[in-house]
Amino acid sequence: MFENVIVGVADLETGGDATALALQLASNDRALTLAYVQVVMAKPAPDAGDRSLAADRRHAFARLTPLHDQARDSRLVSVEARSVAGGLHELARRHQADLLVIAASRRDEYERLVLGDDARAVMENAPCPVAVAPIGYATRPTALMEVGAAYDGSAASRRAVAVARMVGRERGAHVSAFDAIPVPIDAQDPANPQPEIDRDLDRARRRMAALGDVDPRAAAGDPEEEIQRYAASVDLLVVGSHRYRLIDHLTSGSLAQRLADRSSYALLVLAGEANRHETAKGFVTPCPRSW
C-alpha cells in the first residue's frame, strides 16, 4: 500500500523500531529511505568547510550501518534542518512520500515539557501519514494479523477505516473498527443508565456494520481509555487526524499524540490538513557510494 516510505532514524534503538514497522507497512516494490536529521541553525556556507557536521554525518552513517543492512534496497540520507520535524517534513514533501515512520518518544512528561518532543512534533501537521513504532517493536513479533481503526462517524474516522481495510487486505489481516461511547451524563434514570448505554452501543455497532467488511466493536466509558484498551488488542491502530490547533499546545496534546506517548502498539496517524506554513528547509546528503 505504501510505496514511498521515509523512516526517521536517530540511533540503532529507535531507528530499529521505526525500520521494523516500515518494513511491515511498505509494499513489496517500495522505495525506502532512512533519514538521519542533523539539527543546525542555518545551512553552512559553501566555503565554510564545516568539518564538525561532516564528521557527525560520517559517524551517523557508521552507526546506522546495521539498519541499512536490515532494510535491503534502501538508501540512507542525512538531512540538515533546524529541527527533526522540519527536516523529515521537508524530505517527505520533496520526495512526495506517502508514509513517514518514526519511533515513539523515550521522554517522560517532565522531559517533554522542558526539552520538547521530536515524535510529537513530527506528528503535528505532517504532509503525509505518520506511523509510530512503540518502544521495543524491533525485538518482538511484528506480523500484522489484526488491524483496527478508531471510528466516531467523522470524515477523518471514515478515512481511517478505509486505510485499515486496505492495509488488512494487503497483509491478509483481520480488520475491525471501534467506537468509544461516552457514558450519558443526562440519563433519564441516573441510577440506572445501562438501558441508554446499551442503546447507544447498539447504534454504534450498526453504524459501523454499515461500513461493510469490518468487524464492528464498541464500548462505553472514557473515550481515550477505551481506545487504549481496544488498541492493546490489535497489531496496528489507525486513527484520523486534524489540523493541530493552539489548544493542543496549551493542553496535553491531541488524542493521536497522547496515544503515541503511551502506546505499546503500532500507531498509524493519517495526515490532517496540510501545513501551510513554511517548514525549515532541509539539505539532503546521500550516504557514501560504498553502501
Contact between 8 and 18 under an 8 Å Cβ cutoff? The reply is: yes
Give the span between the Cα atoms of 227 and 120, in whole angstroms.
19
For residue 191, which phi and psi values (nearest 5 degrees)? Answer: -75, -20
Q: Name the more confident of 85 and 55.
A: 85
Contact between 256 and 130 under an 8 Å Cβ cutoff? The reply is: no
Look at residue 57 in the predicted model and tell me its pLDDT.
67
**Residue 90 pLDDT level (bands cut at 50, 70, 90):** very high
Residue 274: is its pLDDT beyond 60? no
Contact between 6 and 88 under an 8 Å Cβ cutoff? The reply is: yes
Query: Average pLDDT for residues 74-80, to the nearest whole number?
Result: 83
**Residue 107 pLDDT level (bands cut at 50, 70, 90):** confident
Residue 286: is its pLDDT beyond 90? no
User: Of 83, 97, 127, which Cα lies nearest the Cα of 34?
Assistant: 97
| Domains in the chain with CATH codes | 2-138+276-286 (3.40.50.620), 146-234 (3.40.50.620)
**Residue 46 pLDDT level (bands cut at 50, 70, 90):** low
Residue 275: is its pLDDT beyond 60? no
pLDDT in tens, 216-256: 999 998 888 999 999 999 999 999 875 555 444 445 667 77
Query: Average pLDDT for residues 59-71, to the nearest whole number?
Result: 70
Q: Please spell the DSSP secondary structure of 266-279, one letter per residue.
A: EEEE---SPP-SPP
Query: Average pLDDT for residues 143-169, to the nearest whole number?
Result: 92
Q: Which amino acid is at 6?
A: I
CA 253 to chain centre: 15
Look at residue 239 in the predicted model and tell me its pLDDT.
93
pTM (two decimals): 0.82
Residue 288: is its pLDDT beyond 70? no
Q: Name the more confident of 286 and 62.
A: 62
Mean pLDDT for all residues in the chain = 80
Residue 281: is its pLDDT beyond 50? no
